[in-house]
Chain A
Amino acid sequence: DAGITQSPRHKVTETGTPVTLRCHQTENHRYMYWYRQDPGHGLRLIHYSYGVKDTDKGEVSDGYSVSRSKTEDFLLTLESATSSQTSVYFCAISERQGGLAKNIQYFGAGTRLSVL
């Protein structure tokens, strides 16, 4: 998985509790992403980062926040988990090649989150 580690791999939590998912990379890539995967929806971008402390929202960012204090770590936080956030979460990384954005993304193994 291209030097990308997601933790935890599985988590069960209760509605209203905070949850933090971690993505750690060893590739020193500048760009990092969080997606959620749901049946019938494919992958949808939650948040992404284009550098340390530089983040931006994706298409489904409501209820999620992120932080990136080091190049290698990108954290996704659900401040107060809801059942609608039950999903599989994927982290991805990418890097420019020759100064050009070529959008080639590499994915972690995923975190399966269940909110009861």
Chain B
Amino acid sequence: AQSVTQLDSQVPVFEEAPVELRCNYSSSVSVYLFWYVQYPNQGLQLLLKYLSGSTLVKGINGFEAEFNKSQTSFHLRKPSVHISDTAEYFCAVGSQGGSEKLVFGKGTKLTVNP
């Protein structure tokens, strides 16, 4: 069975500060990894994905994430956040060669303050 732990339920930061949202996963097989963003009253939008290859993955809106297999982590980073980045962020894991299902973390609410 797979699981995802998002270590922080809420992260407040000031505008233009760097941010890191942490995600750890557990899986007995090779994985695909995703970050989704949810703006208020909207659905989830794919932010970035790791399928294979380079462990540093770049996504939309200046976000990037690094896959660390030894630490089973996939932390999301942005060097300088904007007010518009205020949203909830979800990490998700799927299994390579397995089912089409994803397991989601419980989410991290990022609040960017002026």
Contacts and interface: CB of A to CB of B under 8 A. Distances in A.
Q: Do A and B come from one complex?
A: yes
Interface of A: 1, 31, 33, 35, 40-45, 48, 50, 58, 90, 92, 94, 96, 100-110
Interface string B78-114: 0000000000001000111111111011110000000
B100 A42 contact: no
Given A40-B106, A42-B90, A42-B107, A103 B100 contact: yes
Given A45-B101, A101-B100, A103-B100, A90 B106 contact: no
B102 A103 contact: yes
Interface of B: 9, 32, 34, 36, 42-46, 49, 51, 90, 94-102, 104-107
A109 B94 contact: no
A104 B44 CA distance: 12
Given A43-B90, A48-B100, A103-B94, A109 B105 contact: no
B101 A103 contact: yes
A63 B15 CA distance: 44
B43 A1 contact: yes
A42 B104 contact: yes
A53 to B, nearest CB: 17
A92 B90 CA distance: 15
B79 to A, nearest CB: 26
A101 B98 contact: yes
Given A42-B90, A102-B51, A108-B43, A94 B100 contact: yes
Given A31-B100, A94-B100, A104 B42 contact: no
